[in-house]
Amino acid sequence: MTEAASNKPVLLTIRGLRIEGRSDEKWNEIVKGVDLSLHRGEVLGLIGESGAGKSTLGLAAMGFTRDGCRISGGSIDFDGIDLLTAPEPVRRGLRGKRIAYVAQSAAASFNPAHRLIDQYSEGPVQHGVMSKAEAQRDAMELYRRMRLPNPDEIGFRYPHQVSGGQLQRAMTAMAMACRPDLIIFDEPTTALDVTTQIEVLSAIRDIVAQFDTAAIYITHDLAVVAQMADRIKVLLHGEEVEEADTRTMLSAPREDYTKSLWAVRSFERGAQPALPAADVPVVEMRNIVAAYGPVPVLHNVSFEIHRRRTVAVVGESGSGKSTAARVITGLLPPSSGSVLFEGQPLPADYRQRSKDQLRQAQMIYQMADTALNPKHRIREIIGRPVHFYLGKSGKALTERVRELLHLIELEPDKFIDRLPSELSGGQKQRIGIARALAAEPRFIICDEVTSALDQLVAEGILRLLDRLQTEFDLAYMFITHDLATVKAIADEVVVMKDGRVVEQGPKAEMFAPPHDPYTELLLSSVPEMDPDWLDRLLAERAAGRAGGTVQASER
Amino acid sequence: MVATLRFTLWLAVAVVAAAVLGWLFRAVLTRIAPANAARLLRSAPLSASFGMAVIVFYLLVAILAPTIAPFGEREVVGAQFMPASSEFLLGTDNLGRDMFSRLIFGVRNTVSIAFITTALAFAVGAVLGLLAATVSGWIDQLLSRVVDVLMAIPALIFQLLLLTIVGTSIINMILVIALIDSTRVFRLARAVAMNIVVMDYIEAAKLRGEGLWRLIIREIMPNAAAPLVAEFGLRFCFVFLSISALSFLGLGIQPPTADLGSMVRDNATLITFGEVTPLLPAGAIALLTVAVNFVVDWMLHRASGLKE
């Protein structure tokens, strides 16, 4: 495919592109002179951590910059049209018609007030490519090709009536509406579960191949890009690190930075010594049944978490894993069953728990952005639990906050008076960890703490959590849908589906066959770095193996 | 033609003067303010520093009114409607009182009453609104339905009704206007807080075991501040109008107390003779309104974290 593609004419050429963004009253360079060329029908993977400028570069390929950004140098040539000097109407004529864009979060990008098919038709009708009726017929055809269920009917639903994975496919179909020459995919599967991700990936790949569309595929997930791209370009701080075709890049990366990206998945927590026979679990869920109003969410869920142990609770969205955490914290009192803390039952509602009971169980959230009060300084965010639970104030309080900042490897003098908005994603998550530690708890719930982070940053967080666990004798409940994270940090695994525990046991047993069919589906859905992985998996699924018989529950 | 030209010229002069005033005021403030505040003030746009200058000016006028004013508030010092002269800077009004002195006292009375009323409306409305959103359940239902009922009655009619019941006095007027305005603030505060109480950091604070008061004041309030501050600027202007309307109907600030709103009405006849004097009190209200909104815009811009 690669050789075939490179024989085709060049579609997009970017030379020495420089883009600046305005912050703190001055212009900072975000993209620092990047070259890029793309042939017709070729898929180029752009990878790098957040802030590397990949999305900015992707948007610039449409001749577009976000508010507060400007293109300060270089050239962008799309099929003979200079996108930088072309007048706005020309550029507008290209967008949606010859260059299309698929955003990361389809749920946030669709207009919730209009039906899918109406949003689909908007582009073709606007550009005068099709009439509305033609566009609707075409939409059904593309929905069928994207393997959406009920393709003739699904378009007449509103965005909130279809699942996340379906929405992402609908958006890809929409980008295809005018049969563009180039599509820019900006992390299209990052927000999806592994099981759903497979479907979206294979649908995208097929449709791009069918229409011979060129694509720029932006992601921070190396295993995903290995499946999708013909060529890979690695970016760091707005500069190109290296570029090569996928197989070469995976087998023989040249630069140290690329090697470090490849090596990320190597962290694995060592085996823990066996538990003493009579060890009382720190937290035990006993036959929990819980419901949101009339909707049952948890059915008879039991598991226990011991001191110095990490229990990973795995499942796709809607499987009830976050609900289990809400039951433990007391936000959702169960309709039957009980939560025990060191053998003692906890009151079901957090409002009835004592200050000490609240202190013992802390929580770290997925989105550090919304978990830290944006108007409080770090001093107050971390200091509040110290003051509230442990009664420290004045100098002792400041001292303790500085100590906690040291623990999470942030320099106290630099960070203590900052606001959350002045921190990077990884730093925010570290502050979230420090806030949990500040209460000096026995037990911490980590709710998808790494899923919003880049792999390098995520690995740093996992190592930190691991170190803190040994240092402070903590028990972790680790909620995640990412099995690579489970492999790295868990001692025991609980697999959940539709509010039930499907399988549970020590990690080593879980990752070795035989599996429950659903576990098999989950495990086999984790992308691997091998570029042939997706083809092989799809072939196996078609043959009814690798969890091919289980239906992922679409929500 | 010449008139248009002259008007444009004057307008340009006024804008330039305002900008210069704003610039000077900012320069002086940054010089005398402590380091932290100075950095903040330096980032203020000219419009905001002009607004602050005007507000400070009004405050000084209001505080120093008896010292600045050449004559007493209620003193009849000459004939009716005397033209401006060196003795009476702006002439005299329909009863022969000095217009300039009345204007100064009018600023003092109206501004302070409007400010107290708005502040009261905000204190009550914001706290109840945030409370309703935080606690939800039946307290929210009760408060919201009461507010719905109060909002269903046209404001002016309701004010008249309440003032007839409780009797006319300045205190009563403040309370009545504050009560009715607080329903609008309640609505806004509740709507804003609804979006904040679902955030993870509020959940974290609840799970920490924080009390209701701290939750509202320390965790929610700072995040709801931006829209509330913006509303404050707007509400402040509406309160002016309410006071003027009530005064016009004889239920607000009672003569002979000077009030900017009723001063316009009292001297309205002069407009027929091409005199601008009756417009001066109106201008005083307009200038303060604009100034307040300039400052509020800036604060809103800062609070919302909008960059550029």
In a domain, B16, yes or no: no
The alpha carbons of chain A give a radius of gyration, in whole angstroms, of 25
B204 with A353: Cβ contact below 8 A: no
The number of C-beta contacts closer than 8 angstroms across A and B is 48
Minimum distance, in Å, between the CA of residue A469 and any CA atom of chain B: 21
Single out the residue of A217, A150, A231 nearest to residue A189, CA to CA.
Answer: A217
Sheet order of strands, A492-497 included: A361-364, A443-447, A475-480, A310-314, A492-497, A500-506
Single out the residue of A212, A158, A208 nearest to residue A188, CA to CA.
Answer: A208
CA distances from A465 to A310, A405, B201 (A): 10, 14, 21
Partnered with residue A486 across adjacent β-strands are none
A371 vs B200, B222, B308: nearest CB: B200
Whether the CB-CB separation of B272 and B129 falls below 8 Å is answered with: no
DSSP H stretches of helix in chain B: 2-32, 35-42, 46-68, 99-135, 137-152, 155-166, 170-197, 200-208, 212-214, 221-248, 260-266, 279-303
Q: How many CB atoms lie within 10 A of CB A84?
A: 15
Length of chain B: 308
pLDDT attached to residue A64:
84
- Write out chain A residues lying below 8 Å of B208, CB-based: 358, 384-385, 388-389, 439
Residues of chain A under the 50 pLDDT cut = 1-3, 553-555
The answer to whether ipTM exceeds 0.90 is no
B208 vs A358, A367, A375: nearest CB: A358
Residues belonging to chain A with any Cβ–Cβ distance to chain B shorter than 8 Å: 22-23, 68, 329-331, 350, 353, 355, 358, 363, 365, 367, 370-376, 384-385, 388-389, 421, 435, 439
In a domain, B155, yes or no: yes
Closest residue in B to A69 (Cα–Cα): B308
Residues belonging to chain B with any Cβ–Cβ distance to chain A shorter than 8 Å: 199-201, 203-210, 219, 222-223, 305, 307-308
Per-residue pLDDT of chain B (308 residues; tens, 9 = 90+): 778 888 888 888 888 888 888 888 888 888 887 777 777 777 778 888 888 889 889 888 888 888 887 887 777 777 777 777 777 777 777 777 888 888 888 888 888 888 899 999 999 999 999 999 998 889 999 999 999 999 999 988 999 999 989 988 889 999 999 999 999 999 999 999 998 998 889 999 999 988 899 999 999 998 888 888 888 888 888 888 788 778 777 787 877 788 887 787 777 777 787 777 778 888 888 888 888 888 888 887 776 654 43
pLDDT attached to residue B191:
92
Listed in sequence order, the residues at least 6 apart from A237 whose beta carbon sits closer than 8 Å to its beta carbon are A32, A51, A52, A53
Measure the CA–CA gap between B307 and B230, rounded to whole angstroms: 18
pLDDT attached to residue A509:
82
Minimum distance, in Å, between the CA of residue B295 and any CA atom of chain A: 21
pLDDT attached to residue A413:
87
Measure the CA–CA gap between A12 and A33, rounded to whole angstroms: 16
Sheet order of strands, A344-345 included: A295-305, A283-292, A336-341, A344-345
Whether the CB-CB separation of A298 and A499 falls below 8 Å is answered with: yes
Whether the CB-CB separation of A101 and A186 falls below 8 Å is answered with: yes
pLDDT attached to residue A550:
62
Listed in sequence order, the residues at least 6 apart from B95 whose beta carbon sits closer than 8 Å to its beta carbon are B76, B80
B222 with A375: Cβ contact below 8 A: yes
Mark residue A24 as left, alpha or beta (left: phi above 0; alpha: psi -120 to 50; beta: remaining): left
Measure the CA–CA gap between A525 and A481, rounded to whole angstroms: 11
Single out the residue of A431, A207, A55, A218 nearest to residue B200, CA to CA.
Answer: A431
| Burial letters B201-217, b for 16+ CB under 10 A, else e | bbbbbbbbbbeeeebbe
- Write out chain A residues lying below 8 Å of B205, CB-based: 373
The CATH code of the domain that includes B297 is: 1.10.3720.10
CA distances from A331 to A314, A350, A351, A511, A521 (A): 20, 6, 9, 32, 31
In a domain, B80, yes or no: no
Helix or strand or coil: residue A15?
Answer: strand
In a domain, B76, yes or no: no
In a domain, B128, yes or no: yes
Minimum distance, in Å, between the CA of residue B196 and any CA atom of chain A: 10
Both tokens assigned to A24: 């703190």
Q: Which of A70, A375, A390 to mutate to test the interface with B (most CBs of B within 10 A)?
A: A375
Task: Please tell me whether the overall predicted TM-score, pTM, comes out greater than 0.80 for this model.
Answer: no
| Burial letters A509-529, b for 16+ CB under 10 A, else e | ebeeeebeebbbbbbbbbbbe
Task: Provide the domain count of chain B.
Answer: 1
Closest residue in A to B221 (Cα–Cα): A375
Pairing of strands A475-480, A283-292: unpaired
CA distances from B138 to A53, B131, B133, B143 (A): 49, 12, 11, 8
In a domain, B280, yes or no: yes
Mark residue A330 as left, alpha or beta (left: phi above 0; alpha: psi -120 to 50; beta: remaining): left
B204 with A355: Cβ contact below 8 A: no
Both tokens assigned to B76: 């009849």
| Burial letters B226-254, b for 16+ CB under 10 A, else e | bbbbbbbbebbbbbbebbbbbbeeebbbe
Whether the CB-CB separation of B222 and A375 falls below 8 Å is answered with: yes
pLDDT attached to residue A548:
59
Whether the CB-CB separation of B95 and B71 falls below 8 Å is answered with: no
pLDDT attached to residue B76:
76
Whether the CB-CB separation of B41 and B26 falls below 8 Å is answered with: yes
A388 with B222: Cβ contact below 8 A: no
In a domain, B102, yes or no: no
DSSP string, B62-122: HHHHHHH-SS-SS-B-SSTTPPP-SSSTT-B-TTSBBHHHHHHHHHHHHHHHHHHHHHHHH
Closest residue in B to A380 (Cα–Cα): B218
| Burial letters B274-283, b for 16+ CB under 10 A, else e | eeebbebbee
Measure the CA–CA gap between A116 and A171, rounded to whole angstroms: 9
pLDDT attached to residue B308:
38
In a domain, B71, yes or no: no
Residue B139 lies in domain = 108-304
Measure the CA–CA gap between A219 and A229, rounded to whole angstroms: 11
Minimum distance, in Å, between the CA of residue B122 and any CA atom of chain A: 21
Measure the CA–CA gap between B288 and B278, rounded to whole angstroms: 17
Phi, psi of B213 (to 5 degrees): -60, -45
- Write out chain B residues lying below 8 Å of A375, CB-based: 222-223
- Write out chain A residues lying below 8 Å of B219, CB-based: 373
Closest residue in A to B208 (Cα–Cα): A358
> What is the enclosing helix (H) or strand (E) of A431?
helix A425-438
B208 with A388: Cβ contact below 8 A: yes
A68 vs B206, B305, B308: nearest CB: B308
A375 with B223: Cβ contact below 8 A: yes
Partnered with residue B242 across adjacent β-strands are none
In whole angstroms, what separates CA B188 from the centre of its chain?
18
A421 with B203: Cβ contact below 8 A: no
